[in-house]
Every structure is written in C-alpha cells, then in structure tokens.
Chain A
C-alpha cells in the first residue's frame, strides 16, 4: 500500500510538473536558508576555534568585568554553558597597574602583556583608515600572540620605556594606507601625533571573525599611548603559563590575588582559552539560532504553500476520490494517498534544498573568508524537517479528501 501510494504520488506530481515544482520551491528555499545560516555559523565557529587554539591552550586572558557567571569557579560542569554578561565587560576598566604587576609576578606565569584599546582613526597623508583596531601594549604581546613580521621588526622594550612613537601595523592596514609602497620608516598619524612604522605583521590565515579583522590592526607601545592619551586604561591582560597542566592552578591563584587587590570585589574575569571560546560560541550560537529561526519562517511559508496546493489538488480530484471509495478505498487509504503526496513533494524540496545549500557552501568558501560547515546532524534535521512539514501541512488536506462522501464525490466533475 505504501509502495502504491508512492507510485500514485509520483504519477500525480508528474501530471502537474510545474505546480509541484513551484510548491516544492517553498521548501527548497526554507531548507536552503536554514542550512546556509547554520552552516555559516558553524563555519565561523570552527574558524574562531582554530584561531583561539592557535594562540595556545596555555594562555589566560584577564578581563575587566564579570564576563561569565562561573568565571571564578574551576568546576568544568559550571563553566559549561555559563551565562555571559557582556555588559559587565563594557565601561571603565576595573583592572589596574597593580593587577598587571600581580599577574607578571605570579608563579608559573612566564610572560604577560597588558593591553588597552585606543579609539582613533589612522591616517597617512590623504589616506584614512577608520576600521583599524588600535592596541597599546608591551612587546611580550607579540610573543604570546605568536605574531610574526613580514617586513621590518616589532618595537622593543626600550622603545616602550623611551615612549617612542612607533607602530606595528597589520597587513590590511598597510594595504589601505600605503598600498604597495614600503611603509617601514614612514609615518602614520594617530590622534594628531605621528608614529613611525617599524614593522608589518604577517597576514594571518584566519578569516574575519566577529567583525574584527586580525589584519587591520595598529599596535603601539603602551607607554607611548599613556603619553598620547594621558591615561592608562588596561582593557585586558594576557598571560602565558609555563605548562598547560598549570593553567587551572594559575587561574585560581590569579583570581585570589586580583580579588584581594580589588578589596574582595569580583569585578574581573580570568578566562582560559576554552572559556573564551565558550564565550564566543555562546554569542555565535545565539546569533545563529536567531538567524536560523528567521530562516525557518520561510520553511513554514513553504509548508503553507504545500497545504494550499494539496487543498486545490483534493478538490480537483474529488471525482477520483469518489471512484476510489466506490472501489473499496477506506478513509485511511485515501488519507494515506494524499499524505504521501504532500510528504514526497516536501521531501523532494528538502533534498534539493540540501544540495543547493551544499553548492552555496562551495561558492561562499570561494568568495568569502568563511567556509560553511554542514554537520550530518544539520543535514539529517533538514530532511527530517521537510518530512515533518509534509506531514503537518499535508494532514488537513488529506483528512478533507478522506472525509468526502462517495456519492457527492462521484457526482462532481
């Protein structure tokens, strides 16, 4: 019977090719939209994961504000899915010069770098770059972040101590200000002061993540920044631990000592790379879910399209229903026949949507920095969703068909 129903469904779809195709398009678009959105989200996630783990799993990030609910807890169960409170990280930093010293002198910390963010556009003659991230820090930042120069060199501790106005710039920043010219020894302007470019950072292989381009960056010595702005605002401190197995221990010790610096106030967070990753992932998950939910509306619209066409099909085929009932078809037989038809239209749409999103993934990977990732779960869920849509939106028309009175149905034209 199921096989007969499938055969009948294909016969019926074949007899109204254009209509069936247009109906399936609704589901195609829905499945495609959801898959691409989730795929791009997962792609960005994989990208960030790569970037963060590249930085080394033995790096701790100390940031102002209580970023996660369980930042002070080392219990992994609590860290998992910890709520994030982004607002607490915004505003005047609670980290102080004393904290920076505490971090630097904590046992097992091999290296640390405090950094602040200067809001300024970067100009060179007529060229203006408003997008660059301007960071003020110490030379150890380069080591911990594992940065390399493609041209020139990084500034040194001596440059920092002498409050030299020197800058290291990212590959994209260099491109936007100097084009193909050699920037070494030339000057750029930050807040009206001229900085000599000492080096260009090698282009990172990571893509654009969360809107921050790692290659559009200007790094200046922290002491020079204090001289420029008149204040020392520590945005974050990164600290390298001698070995990965000491990370949790150092984290606990840092939390204790910084808390005592802050007179017992929990207004900071010490995050491992994994926690940082979780923080990014939770943001991305929220974004992905939100966008996918919007895309899912198109799936819903696709389902309504199926219902609409199935209702038309049922009225057009009233006579067929009458004949089948006269030949002994039961309520269940007729219902099964029309339900199978809507499920098959929806599944065809789902399969095409999956293929289309796969192709779109190849195109996106080619033309953008993001490689969408389609997990098997996402693909199976997409097909499951189209099956579900077929059942949900096919049921009402199928019931309508099965309920038709044989005599009225036979009389209809």
Chain B
C-alpha cells in the first residue's frame, strides 16, 4: 500500500456535527476543512471538549457528520450505507485507542486477525499475515498469549498490529500513550514514527504537546473549529 505522497487520503469540506438532544443543541464541529495526504503524520491537538473526539469519530467512520462532505480515498462517505462504512473501517482504517480495546477472551492472535475474520480471509492466510505484522511490532513471541498476560506496552503493540493487519489507508491513534508510562509511551511513539517512515498515514489525536514532535504537521481543534498550527519540512 505504498501511496503516492501527493495522493489525498482524507478531504473534509465544510464538515459540521450538531448534537440535538434533551440537553439542547450543541455544535461540536463547525465547518471544518481538512486535507490529509498519503504518508502524512498529522497531530490533532486540542483540549478536551474541543470537538477533536467528534472529528476522530467521523474520520474513523464511526459517526456521520450532520453537514459537509467527507471523502476517503476519493469516495464520498455520505452516500454509503452502514454496511459499506463497516467494510471501509475494516479495509481502510486502523484504530489505536488509549485503552487498547483488545478483547480479553481472545488471544493476541485472535485479536489481531479480527478484521481479517470479518473479511472472510482463510485461516492459513490470516495466520501468515498476523505473524507478519506481529514481527513488525516485535510481539511474535506473544502470539498465543491473552492480553491480560502481557504488559501494557505489549498490549498496545498488539493493538497497533491489529490496526496494520489490513494495510489501511490511515491509522487513527487516539491518545495512544495515555495509559502507558513515559518510557513505554516513547517506545510506542517511536514505533508509530517508524511505521510512518515506511509509508503509513497516521492521524494522532492528543492533548499532549510532547507527542506532537513526532508529527509532520499539527492542527488544532478549538470550539469546533480547526486551525493549521505547523507544517514541518
């Protein structure tokens, strides 16, 4: 999945999200414009409640905008059914969560292969690809362990492997180091940087300015609006 550097993975146009419930009307996002190119390492900064989680959910196809357009790999996601969105999540997006979100009953192998299971890939092929990504994140020896038998850093490595398994167009990392100690956090960030150097597009969501140094470009969300902060060479 080596992409042309100039290829645009994500294009948001006048994207808005309004919550309208018993608590009243609330605009989480107001006319957000954003383009992300293949191979970028984008950091989305912003305090909690700024709307950055809402933005991540929409980019991750877990939620739909109330207005505006979202093109993923040139496909207008507004026109897609829930089933099509599920398939896009499976094939194009890798999620890395703050709290890892591995299924405790399943082994590392079974967790990592999950997207392939939903893609109906055969067992032998699944096993081969799981071993490949696990060695990439340095966790091959824990393939049959349960998540609660390995360290937090290793769990997050497993989650990264799961995010990589389908060679996605982008990886969404939401505070990936939030539940890790500093040293392990740095290891995880180094791993993400390494993946980015090998061509994977990464969107990192964080409120921690320390992490933004890994990013090639920084944007900030505040009060539902997005502003460009910095673009590195």
Contacts and interface: CB of A to CB of B under 8 A. Distances in A.
A330 B62 contact: no
A92 interface: no
Contacts of B57: 407
A363 interface: no
Contacts, number: 62
Contacts of A333: 86, 118
B28 to A, nearest CB: 12
A335 to B, nearest CB: 12
A194 to B, nearest CB: 82
Nearest to B97: A410
A15 B86 CA distance: 28
Contacts of A98: none
B87 A330 contact: yes
B63 A328 contact: no
Contacts of B87: 328, 330
Contact of B63 (A15, A320, A329, A407): A407
Contacts of A12: 105
A307 B86 CA distance: 27
Contacts of A331: 82-83, 86
By size class, the interface of chain B is 20 to 34
Report the interface size class on chain A. Answer: 20 to 34
Interface string A2-31: 001000000110010000000000000000
B95 interface: yes
Nearest to A4: B117
Interface in A375-413: 406-407, 410
B52 interface: no
Nearest to A324: B114
Contacts of A330: 82-83, 86-87, 118
B86 A325 contact: yes
A326 B103 contact: no
B195 to A, nearest CB: 18
B62 to A, nearest CB: 4
Contact of A327 (B82, B83, B90, B105): B90
Given A4-B117, A15-B105, A327 B62 contact: no
Contacts of A324: 103, 114, 118
Contacts of B91: 328
A323 interface: yes
The 3 closest A-B pairs by CB, nearest first: A328-B90, A330-B86, A406-B62
Interface of A: 1, 4, 11-12, 15, 319-320, 322-333, 406-407, 410
16 contacts: A1-B120, A4-B117, A11-B106, A12-B105, A320-B103, A324-B103, A325-B89, A326-B62, A327-B90, A327-B118, A328-B87, A328-B90, A328-B118, A329-B90, A406-B63, A407-B62
